[in-house]
Amino acid sequence: MRISSRLSRLPMAVAMMSSPAFAAQITVQPPATASSSAIPPLAESTISVVANASLSQMCSQLGARIPKTLAENPSGHDCLQYGIYFRHDPADQVRCSGTENKIHVEATLYYQGGWRCGGPFGIGQVSCGFGSDPQKRAIVSFDSVLTWDPAWHLDGKPVIGARAVDACNATFINHDFSGFIQGKANDAIGKFSGQLPAYLSSATNFVQQATQAWVDLQKPIKLNQNPPVWLLVHPRNFAASNISINGDAISLGAQLQANPEVVVSATTPPSDNAPLPPLTTAPASNAFRVALNGWVTWAATNKVMADFISKEHPSYKRTFLGFPLATVTLEKVTVFGAGNDVYLAAGVDGSVRGTIYLHGVPQFNPTTQEIEIKNVDYTANTSKALEAADWFLHSALKSDLQSRAHYKIDHSLEDAQTQLQKALNQSVGAHVTLSGRVAPISGIAVSAQTDGLLARAVLNGTVNAAIH
């Protein structure tokens, strides 16, 4: 009878023990996290850039710089007369050829000269190229190894050569005046050759082409409409690699050094606005690496947890003989973190009141395109604070939170890789045409940032750009 009486009073005792009056208020030290976390640096990348120039067009510009009269002591000045001329007509254009980075330029000059003083009927005159005697020809040549200049033009130090094609045999005593004329020509050619580097710079100035390409590549490139996905090239520098002459084409090779990334943005991301940098030099490369970014904002993670609580009203009980001894309800979960550490701040009420903390490791699931929090467990401070409620440490709270802690990123990285492949084979603006390929995604790193969880994949490939 006494046992029965005591058992009859057990539900009342259990109810009193599980009532708010018997709740344990706990205070747990929050985990120390960095106030902000730097986004991992973007991968260094290079894009092989080729700009083509016309050798014949360059030759034409150089020819236009040669004066019609290089040296002259005309009639009426003294008896010793001479003249060295360049004819600006289609039959006597400057001729250019080359191989690799070596250029050869030559032009035909016409000359006349000799002693023009004499008696009647020209007796006593010793000259050539005057009157009925045709002007004589000489070939002047310039050979140079072309190099890049930081100011975005070609440079070269010419080696000069000159030779007479026609001997200047004087009409009276058959005296060869070629040596005299060549000396005069060398003086004129030497003066002109001092100006040749400046002419070469003007004829091969790529500042305008490079600036237009630089501006185009600083603009965001749209990869997809919904969701709006963009490629940001982030060019940093131009480095020249080689110069090659083949036929009429001068191919100017360079590499664009950049830090490209793929982002999602409802609005058009701002363009970079750095000025065109001076040209540097570097070995040729087209090793392209681009970062694909997938984001989950902290607001999105918290909404997932809020939906879980509002729909399932999770609670955790300790029972004895089927009677609840203690009950804890989950009221709120806030997700935050920095770097490789993700924390869940769980607000609880009932037999245990307060905020407890769990931590886990963020990982990316390529099958679901979600960021998941794995290895969820209580922080050391939480475990210590819950020693008196050891049963709660072994409740299903950890597994419940881990099973719900998976968050869809803002766009599919696999889709972004496909969209990027298409974007790397198209025209960018009016002055750049891209061609390239990227390999499939091989690894994705996840980190907690100030704005949320970042899943970043780095794709490797090759990209070439033609400037026109």
Domain range annotation of the chain = 55-203
In three-state form (DSSP H/G/I as H, E/B as E, the rest C), the secondary structure along 380-406 is HHHHHHCHHHHHHHCCCHHHHHHHHCE
| pLDDT of amino acid 321 | 76
Q: How far is CA 371 from the centre of its chain?
A: 28
pLDDT of residue 79: 73
Pick from 71, 83, 81: nearest CA to 116? 81
* Cis? peptide before 314, omega within 30° of 0: no
Contact 371, 290 (CB under 8 A): no
Residue 23, pLDDT score: 62
Per-residue confidence (pLDDT) for residue 15, from 0 to 100: 44
- The per-residue pLDDT for 41 is 72
For residue 391, CA distances in Å to 29, 327, 367, 387, 399 come to: 21, 11, 36, 9, 15
Q: Which pLDDT score, from 0 to 100, does residue 170 have? A: 59
Is the CB of residue 435 less than 8 Å from the CB of residue 463? Answer: yes
Q: Are 374 and 354 in contact (CB under 8 A)?
A: no
The per-residue pLDDT for 271 is 95
Strand partners, 16: none
The dihedral sign for the CA sequence 5, 10, 12, 13: positive
Q: What is the pLDDT of residue 223?
A: 87
pLDDT of residue 343: 95
Residue-level pLDDT at 77? 60
Give 10-residue mean pLDDT values along the chain (468 residues).
Answer: 47 44 77 64 82 84 83 70 80 84 88 68 64 84 86 82 75 55 68 74 81 91 86 90 84 86 87 92 82 90 96 91 86 89 94 95 90 95 91 92 93 84 85 87 85 88 85
